[in-house]
Each structure stands twice: as structure tokens, then as C-alpha cells.
A and B are shown apart, each in its own frame.
Chain A
Amino acid sequence: MIPAAFDYEVAESVEHALGLLAADPDAKVLAGGHSLVPALKLRIARPSKLVDIGRLSDLAYVRDAGSQVAIGALTRHVDVQGDPLLQEHCPIVSMTAGKVGDPQVRHRGTIGGSVAHGDPASDLPSVMRALDAEFVIVGAGGERTVGAGDFFTGVFQTAVGHGELLTEIRVPKLGDTTGWSYLKYHRRAQDWATVGVAAIVHRDNGTATSASVSLTNMGGTPLRASAVEAAIAAGSSPAEAAVHAADDTEPSTDTAASAEFRRHLARVLTERALTQARA
């Protein structure tokens, strides 16, 4: 499969990239290309121009930012997976990065590209939603920070607008009393998640006192399972709370699963994730 023709420019800096994007409303940003190139080949995406930010090495980093860990948008999955700071302070992110695609994909794909693509079946967006991560977006008007609840706006849609660039993702440091789990069901090793569940649990002596739960592929964006979270806060067990996992969700029916099976998976995986995170 051959992409439709497009122009191509290498961005030399963030400012250069913003200028190139502003000059062409049909231009798209190319990072690792592991979401965009397949879409180009299928001609689902037919941009007039690609602005390649893949050489902006100053956007590839993981840094201590006080109560948060800051991850540069161009950090590749393999580097997120192996980063000692994330492994210590927010291991759900490094562990999940290691479950994206396969080794070849993780050698090229970037965390910024993954979240900015906004695929509802993608793992990292759901983890970011459970963590209440923050997203730093720059544009001609300067820099703004958007919370995960406002970042994912629809299927393949995010708060990153035309002429803007996602530059950084900030995740909270999880303390000793916070447990975590990300579980996904898929039929084959490298498949997208049929359903996934990210759980962050604050615990006290083996009891969950509060939880943040996000569902992958149960709607057009990662969805917080607020009924589950309310049940945990009210003292329910993981099994009792997980009954509500599919409340207010809109899973689709496709070749991987029916909507009914997805609702079942959401309940099963939520119970397991809460139990694992509580331990």
C-alpha cells in the first residue's frame, strides 16, 4: 500500500514546527509514525504535508518535576518502559508502555504520538485518564495545560488543535499507599485491547479507600468508571464495585467482540484490576 502524495518538512525546533503547521491547515505532525503511517497507507489520512518532529531530540526526556514526572512527547515507548524514574514513581506508565504493540513498534512509537492519536482502543490514553495526567500543548498563543478529562474529546480526537503541538505529559508520583494495575483482554498478542482497565487505588491496610478507574475501548474516549469509583469510596469490595463497570458506557460491536461481551469484560477486568491494585 502506497500513501497518497504529500509534502514533507523536517522541523528544526518547536517554533519551526508551529510555523510550518500554521502555514498549512492540512498539515499533520509526524513523530514516530506508528499510528500515522498505517493511516497514510490506507489513505484514511491524506494530509497535504507532514511536519516531521522526529528529530527534535530535546522533546525526548523523562524528568523529575516535584510531585509529578514530566515525559517529553517524543519519548519512545521503549524508553518509557525502561525509565528508572517512572519505574520508581509511576510504574503503571512504564509497564503499560511495554505492552504497546511489539518490540519493533516500541522502538519507534512515541508516547506523545500515541496519546495525541486519540485511539479509544489504545492503552496509554486510558492509563493517563486514570492518573489524571496533564498535557502541555503549545501553539502560536503560547502554552496551555489540559487535564486528561478534557484532553480526549472523541474518536481519534484530542484537545490538540490545528497549529498546535503536544510537547509534554505530566503524571503524578504514586506514593507507597497507592496501588495500580492495567489489564487488557485481546485475542492475539499484538492486538489492540478489546477492553482494558486501568485502576489506581489508594489503600489502607489492604482496604481500598478510593480508586480511579479508566476503561479502554468502552466508548469513543477513555472513560472513567465513576460508578465503580463511588462504590469503592463507599466501602464496596472490588467484586461489588465492578458490577457497575459498564454503567454509562457505549461499547461498540465489531469483529473483535460484541458490545455485550465488552460489558462483560469490563466487569471482569475491573474486579481483577481493583483486586490487584489493592494488594
Chain B
Amino acid sequence: MHPVTMTVNEVRHELELEPRDLLVHVLREQLSLTGTNVGCDTSSCGACTVLLDGQSVKSCTLLGVQADGATITTIEGLATGGELHPVQQAFHDHHALQCGYCTPGMVMAAVSLIGNREAGDRDSIRAGLEGNLCRCTGYHNIVEAIAEVAGSTS
């Protein structure tokens, strides 16, 4: 077992991990943060996307030990004081979800995309979401929601 310290949603955790423990399982099973979903489990679908030091990553393809010392934000960490994060609110307003399974990963990918100023127009948003699959194929409203928050020009 390896000692690992990570700050998740502004709470510091000191954990003892097996090297093979995947970050997504650490989040879901040890920290009970089940908002992050496991989808394909092959780093294709993006359902498990979280922010690691502010950048979107697929938590099914990271070992927990690789996140030692990192700051992690999951979908549970976005809302503050009972107020939805602007991206969550925009997904709500635009009906940017159907079954909802991809939604936590879509929202986290969108937060990273907007933070990196890579959502200037709808083509950029579509390209920036290439690592997130929605099998309800609800992409149109997802793009619209992100475009609203990003103030996309076209």
C-alpha cells in the first residue's frame, strides 16, 4: 500500500492505495463520490472525466498513485452554496441531457474547455468534446449550453 494525499473538492484526503487502484475507483468507492461515472472503461467515452489540477482527465486511465499531491474537482465540487455552476445551469436551461449518464463527464470537459479558452465558437466546442460520447446523441443542446456560458461568437 502506498500513502497518497489528494485534495478533492477542496477536502484533503490521506489515503492508503494499492498501486493498481484506478482514480475513478478511489473517487467512487473510497470517497463515495459516485457522481463520476464509469462508462466504457477504455478511455474512449469520457464519462469518468474529472479535473486534475484544473485540466480535464479521464479518471479510468489514471492510477490513484499518479494523483498524489494533486487537486481534483469532480462534478460534486462544482456547485457552491447551493448555486449550480454556470455550466450546470446552462445544461439545465438547454435540456442538454437525456439519460444523463454522460453528463458529469460532459460538464467537466466543458468546464476545462471554457477555462482553456477553447470554446470560442461551436466548431471548437464540437472538436473539444471529441473525447466525450453521448449515446442518446444529444450533442446539439450540449453544444448550445456550452456556447452560452463561453459567449461563443458563432
Contacts and interface: CB of A to CB of B under 8 A. Distances in A.
Contact of A190 (B20, B44, B62, B112): B44
What's the dominant secondary structure at chain B's contact region? mixed
Contact of A103 (B42, B56, B60, B61): B56
A34 B130 contact: no
A22 interface: no
A33 B55 CA distance: 16
A102 B46 contact: yes
A33 B131 contact: no
A37 B131 contact: no
Lowest 9 CB-CB distances: which A-B pairs, in order? Answer: A102-B131, A8-B19, A189-B130, A107-B55, A3-B20, A102-B130, A104-B58, A104-B131, A104-B56
B148 interface: no
A105 B132 CA distance: 11
Contact of B62 (A5, A10, A108): A108
B19 A50 contact: yes
B61 A37 contact: yes
19 contacts: A1-B41, A5-B20, A8-B63, A30-B63, A30-B66, A33-B63, A34-B43, A37-B22, A38-B43, A40-B20, A41-B60, A101-B131, A102-B130, A103-B112, A103-B130, A104-B49, A105-B131, A107-B57, A190-B130
Given A3-B22, A41-B22, 20 more contacts: A8-B19, A8-B65, A30-B63, A30-B66, A33-B61, A33-B63, A37-B43, A37-B61, A41-B42, A52-B66, A102-B131, A103-B112, A103-B113, A104-B46, A104-B57, A104-B109, A104-B131, A105-B43, A108-B62, A190-B131
A156 interface: no
Contacts of B118: 103
Interface of A: 1-8, 10, 30, 33-34, 37-38, 40-41, 50, 52, 54, 78, 101-105, 107-108, 189-190
B2 interface: yes
B18 interface: yes
A101 B127 CA distance: 11
A245 to B, nearest CB: 27
Q: Which one of B22, B43, B112 has the highest number of Cβ atoms from chain A below 10 Å of its Cβ?
A: B43
Interface in B1-57: 2, 18-20, 22, 25, 41-44, 46, 49, 52, 55-57
A108 B113 CA distance: 15
A145 B60 CA distance: 35
A72 to B, nearest CB: 18
Q: Which one of B2, B55, B128 has the highest number of Cβ atoms from chain A below 10 Å of its Cβ?
A: B55
Nearest to A1: B41
Nearest to B45: A190
Contacts of B62: 33, 37, 108
A33 B65 CA distance: 12
A91 B10 CA distance: 39
Contacts of B20: 2-6, 40
B73 to A, nearest CB: 14
Contacts of A6: 19-20
